[in-house]
Structure 1
Amino acid sequence: MKKNYFYLAGMAIMLVAAVVFYRKYQNVADPVPPLHERQGPISTTSEWLNTKAAIQGLQRKLREKPGDLKSKLLLGLAYMQEARITGEHPYYYPAALKLIQDVLDHEKSDQVLLYEATVAKATIQLSLHQFAKALETGKEALKINDHGAAVYGVLCDANVELGHYEEAIAMADKMTSLRPDLKSYSRVSYLREIYGDMPGAIEAMNLAVSAGFPGLEQTSWVLVTLGSLYEKTGDLKNAEAQYNKALGQSPNYAFAISGLGRLAVKNKDYDKAAELFTKAANILPEFSFQEELVRLYQHQGNTRKAEATMKELLAGLEEDQEAGHVVDLELAHIYLELGKNPDKALTYALKEYKKRPDNIDVCKALAQIYYQKQDFATAASYLKKATRTNSQDAGLVCLEGLVKYHLGNQAEGANLIQKALAINPYQNTALSTEGRNLVNKSISKI
């Protein structure tokens, strides 16, 4: 009996010790997400050496003190930036989200830390195209702190993607009043573009560029975005200048290289375009670079390369989906334009429409799909929503003209097609080609 008492007492002590040990070291068994070595040209920069040293320092702190929530947040933010720079979204965004969610699960009193972690979570949800979730998370951050500019940025982005454009404008105005900088000016630019004010969009993006620090990834991004605005208005000279300026600051910036590739296509220098798109894709696993290559290979009649690249493209998007990245709209465009499969494209577009029926890009995609299916009346119904902001997107204007033309309003349709070709004379899509042919046919009848 006495022996049993000591046995039970010993077991009790061991149980208490196990509980104490678990509580103290429970996070040690949950390893810090490792940093992946970069590959290719972006692995040889001084920026990478500095980034790696900083991240390894944070990882070391967390191994020594797993409950260091500030270091955990900083590591999450670093992984978010690494996702942007490397394009390794399927790894870094889930890793960052895990770190940041752990901060939110354990921090109850530090309002600054709670606010920053909540904004970071919303930003990741935006990057994963989980827009409704991002809006709700952004509202939670607003309850914690309504004087920080960052929260209005995520609320602006979420409302834009959900098609709540008036709310997005209010959020962008508030953000700009609190912190007029690269991030707020770039949002103002995008909203002006949505509402058809291309000169105003270019003006705001120039302000964003001026507010940026040369060499930072964010500055390179706004330079490329400014270049794309010039490209959309047919100003290829200024577009090229911005892409080259970005490369002058960051020589391996893949989005600038891809921008030059698009200009090469417009100038019918297809060999150079293929070289530039391939170079961009080798630096960054970004689906849009592969998309451009498939489009180019199809144009050149290189079926073997087109099919192989298409296979890689779809495999990459599938990996993104498995990591929580919603890519239904992207798949709709790919299956419509590259796969020539409007029925499959429709399946993905309707899934996206169910989530955000007010977004003009989603409505434009559906209008284009129904146009390809020759259901012009249904296409017109989606175009009514897609054109409600008076967007001057040349592809949208051309599509509206084609639909009107086929519904019997040939004069107005032809005028819209001509307007689209004047907005951007360098369009080279199936729709713009059809539009040119219809306009030329109408003129020849006069």
Structure 2
Amino acid sequence: MTRSTVSVWRLGAGVVGLAFVLTAAGALVGGASDAPAAPAAAGAGAAVGQGTSAAVGPLQAHLKAQPKDAGAWASLGAAYVEEARISGDPALYPKAEQALARSLRLRPDGNAEALSGRAALAAARHDFPAALRDADGALAVNRYSERGLAVRIDALVELGRYDDALKAAGLADDRRPGIPVFTRFAYVRELRGEVAEAQRVLELARDSASTRGDIAYTATALGQLAWSQGRYDEALRHCTEALKADPGNLEAREYRARVTAAKGDLPSAVEEFEKIVEQSPLPGRLVALGELYEATGKTALARQQYAVVSTWTGLARAGGMNVDLDTALAAADHGDRAEALRAARAEWQRRRTVHTEDALAWALYRAGKPREALAHARQATATGYRNAVFLYHRGAIERAVGDTAAARGSLSRALALNPHFSPLGAREARRMLDGLEGS
């Protein structure tokens, strides 16, 4: 993208903000574990600079010859962060931290590259206050830092400061319009329930993409959005387009597998997820595979997958990552419910987002505290975010407190929005709804 690219801020009626996922500057938002339908977020997460991990070897070789190159150390740190995103290996985060610290020792002043890289690392570790501080530091040095602008938006989103994120989006769009801006705008709009606007901006981003990586990234984002709204054929078309541009794109393969499961071919979905988790064993993917195993009667294999989540979270903690949200989401349904509640409460105290509200609501419900859960379930859906998992959770909680009319409405909306949002959750939502008929 060049400065001649049309700004999303000026694209037309109703466009006043920006987006969430990067494809050209090296930051990630810890997203994949945030929720089943979150962008790879919050994620479900996202990196600027497709193929950044391929730079690790050449950068290491360069630094052996030029060990005082502060810029190369900053680039190596960012590359490690991106490699961790792709592989799901949190052991790479200390390496990133060391490389970025080396860069800052060599050039302590005016080092926007290292500060923005450190911001991306903090976001990857789910330390969003630190990510915001370092992004602001990078922008104080270089107001046009693409990574700094992008991570600043991500941090504000992940802190639940959605209005501030829109303002940050406007600033970023004015300074560095392009695909990282377009995709972030789309996610902020999606969180506010403005799905049509989110889709429109993602389509503009895809149409303006010129590299294979950007084409794959934007097409995958469209596929993920279509999947979340239950438009499975459309999601499959977008994922196919993404994989044509980048056959190894794990996010596109993941959502293609989810569509495959939604269409009833669970064995093929299992086979694809098995291949995906071999390359990137992130918690959300491990849980998805475990639930597919359960849905196909392979309970022993399912338990193994859920156990791997605990192993991953242990490794992630050792890498300096905050994994309370990952723990809460996985353990509430497939682990220690007391631990799920502890983790959910801790994360909710740190940041108030729709994802942390939903996680706490569900952990409370699973711990037998539906009345306390209800306020959080309502808060999770208060922005208008159209998420079938959130609606299912709210409906189950409303049912537990005896509000059958509200429960019927929430469960019906969940299944109407995305009828196969989860092989186990959708089945349970139907069972609950059937039990409420006539009551």
Which band: TM-score by shorter chain? 0.7 to 0.9
**For residues 239 and 118 of structure 2, what CA distance do their matches in structure 1 show?**
31
Aligned AA (1:388): A
| Shift in CA distance, 384/75, structure 1 to aligned 2, threshold 3 Å | same
* Uncovered stretches (5+) of structure 2, i.e. residues with no partner: 1-49
Q: What's the offset of the Cα at 1:324?
A: 1.0
Q: What's the offset of the Cα at 1:388?
A: 2.7
Is the Cα–Cα contact under 8 Å of residues 129 and 326 in structure 1 kept in the other structure? yes
| Shift in CA distance, 59/406, structure 1 to aligned 2, threshold 3 Å | closer
Q: Residues 65-144 of structure 1 correspond to what in structure 2 (within 5 A)?
A: 65-91=66-92, 93-109=93-109, 111=110, 114-144=111-141
Structure (1 or 2) with the greater helix fraction:
1
| TM-score (structure 1 length as normaliser) | 0.80
Q: What's the offset of the Cα at 1:185?
A: 0.8
Cα deviation 1:360-413 (Å, max 9, x = unaligned): 111111111222334222011212432231212122223333433443433233
Is the Cα–Cα contact under 8 Å of residues 294 and 338 in structure 1 kept in the other structure? no
Is the Cα–Cα contact under 8 Å of residues 255 and 280 in structure 1 kept in the other structure? no
1:277 is aligned to 273
Q: Residues 20-419 of structure 1 correspond to what in structure 2 (within 5 A)?
A: 55-91=56-92, 93-109=93-109, 111=110, 114-216=111-213, 219-339=215-335, 341-356=336-351, 358-419=352-413
Aligned AA (2:134): T
Q: What's the offset of the Cα at 1:211?
A: 3.3
| Shift in CA distance, 105/276, structure 1 to aligned 2, threshold 3 Å | same
Identity %: 26
Is the Cα–Cα contact under 8 Å of residues 120 and 151 in structure 2 kept in the other structure? yes
Is the Cα–Cα contact under 8 Å of residues 332 and 344 in structure 1 kept in the other structure? yes
Aligned AA (1:234): G
SS in 2 for 1:196: coil
Q: What's the offset of the Cα at 1:441?
A: 4.0
**For residues 252 and 83 of structure 1, what CA distance do their matches in structure 2 show?**
16
2:6 is aligned to none
**For residues 150 and 430 of structure 1, what CA distance do their matches in structure 2 show?**
38
| Shift in CA distance, 254/58, structure 1 to aligned 2, threshold 3 Å | closer
| Shift in CA distance, 307/167, structure 1 to aligned 2, threshold 3 Å | same
Aligned AA (1:378): E
* Uncovered stretches (5+) of structure 1, i.e. residues with no partner: 1-46
SS in 2 for 1:89: coil
Cα deviation 1:97-148 (Å, max 9, x = unaligned): 2111221223145x3xx11221111011111111111112122223223344
Q: What's the offset of the Cα at 1:55?
A: 4.4
SS in 1 for 2:163: helix
Is the Cα–Cα contact under 8 Å of residues 103 and 117 in structure 1 kept in the other structure? yes
SS in 1 for 2:342: helix
Cα deviation 1:209-235 (Å, max 9, x = unaligned): 23334432x543332222111011110
Give the number of the structure whose alpha-carbon radius of gyration is greater.
1
Q: What's the offset of the Cα at 1:56?
A: 4.3
| Shift in CA distance, 58/254, structure 1 to aligned 2, threshold 3 Å | closer
SS in 2 for 1:66: coil
2:13 is aligned to none
Is the Cα–Cα contact under 8 Å of residues 295 and 338 in structure 1 kept in the other structure? no
| TM-score (structure 2 length as normaliser) | 0.82
Is the Cα–Cα contact under 8 Å of residues 257 and 279 in structure 1 kept in the other structure? no
Aligned AA (2:81): M
**For residues 84 and 438 of structure 1, what CA distance do their matches in structure 2 show?**
37
Q: Residues 424-439 of structure 1 correspond to what in structure 2 (within 5 A)?
A: 424-428=418-422, 432-439=426-433
